[in-house]
Amino acid sequence: LFSVGGNFLEVLPEPDYVDEALGRIPLRVHMDIVVSTQMLTDPADTVVLLPATTRYEMVGGCTETSTERRVIFSPEIEGPRIEEARPEWQVFGDIAARVRPELAGAVRFAGTPQIRDDIARTVPTYEGIQHLVAEGDQFQYGGPHLCWQWVFPTPDGKAHFTAVDLPQREVPDGWFVVATRRGKQFNSMVHDKHDPFSGAGRESVLIGETDAARLGLADGDPVLLRNGVGEMAGRVFYAPIAAGTLQVHWPEAEVLIDRRRRSPEARIPDYNAVVELVPVS
């Protein structure tokens, strides 16, 4: 396994299973800018840790795409460097060239400007990325407005909609459907124990007041959520959500998510669960 960034122990369901599965791999290579918990899982044989450069240390700069479709150039910033750290793209190119020597010329690049040239040739939507060279350079793919004047990129120029059947989930009497939510965090990296928008803490179990009253639960009461996968301790937090549902923070709720329940096409885990809520006296 060659893993760059991320942390399987924090983003995948059933972290105990994930830890055990990682431990069965004979050779693991982890490349990142910081140490993560998955690196510390005991290996079947060997673990190698490699330092990566940050985006700000990347010679030639790199780009990011914002949620409003802006492709923005991020220049290299001068400063101290870790001598052995390398950019991930360079290491991937070296590995691919060793595995498929006949493709070495296609997978190794002199620098990030050449990668941007290749992206522009390969992905028409990103035409213009090859011209980003300095701080402030950016463009908006698709233009300022998508589907301007109701013209869509389809053969007839119209939007096409498909009706889909909603999935059915059996919920035992008295149990809840629990959904995972974010707080003050970036992906799985938690920045604060309290969500400034909702006021909920990481341990909060968001529940509607009607359900809470039916169960005799006061705001702040300790509760236990459990199912066939695992259990999670938390505290009642009144919230305006639908009856029969709960919300808890991710990734803490991974212990309740069934790793075997996945979307049939993409095999993405279903980050929702059915749980029993038990008051803790």
**Can you give the pLDDT at residue 166?**
84
pLDDT score, position 258: 94
Domain 176-279 belongs to what architecture? Beta Barrel (2.40)
CATH architecture, range 2-140 = 3-Layer(aba) Sandwich (3.40)
Residue range(s) occupied by CATH 3.40.50.740 in the chain? 2-140
pLDDT, residue 173, reads 94
H or E stretch at 97: helix 88-99
Domain ranges in the chain with CATH number 2.40.40.20 = 176-279
Sheet holding 62-65, edge to edge: 62-65, 70-74, 138-140
Q: Are strands 189-190 and 185-186 parallel, antiparallel or unpaired?
A: antiparallel
Cα 193 to chain center, whole Å? 19
**What does pLDDT average to in each consecutive run of 10 residues of the chain (281 residues)?**
93 94 97 95 96 95 96 96 95 96 95 97 96 96 92 95 88 95 85 91 96 96 97 97 96 94 90 95 82
Q: Say which residue the tokens 């510390």 belong to.
A: 40
Q: Which residues pair with 29 in a beta bridge?
A: 2, 48
Give the count of alpha carbons within 13 A of 84, CB side only.
6
What pLDDT was estimated at residue 221? Answer: 97
User: Where does the chain show beta strands of DSSP type E?
Assistant: 2-4, 27-32, 46-51, 62-65, 70-74, 138-140, 176-181, 185-186, 189-190, 204-207, 222-226, 231-238, 245-249, 272-279
Nearest to 181 by CA among 160, 163, 161, 195: 195
Task: Evaluate whether 86 touches 52 at the Cβ level (below 8 Å).
Answer: yes
3-state secondary structure of 113: helix
CA 181 to chain centre: 12
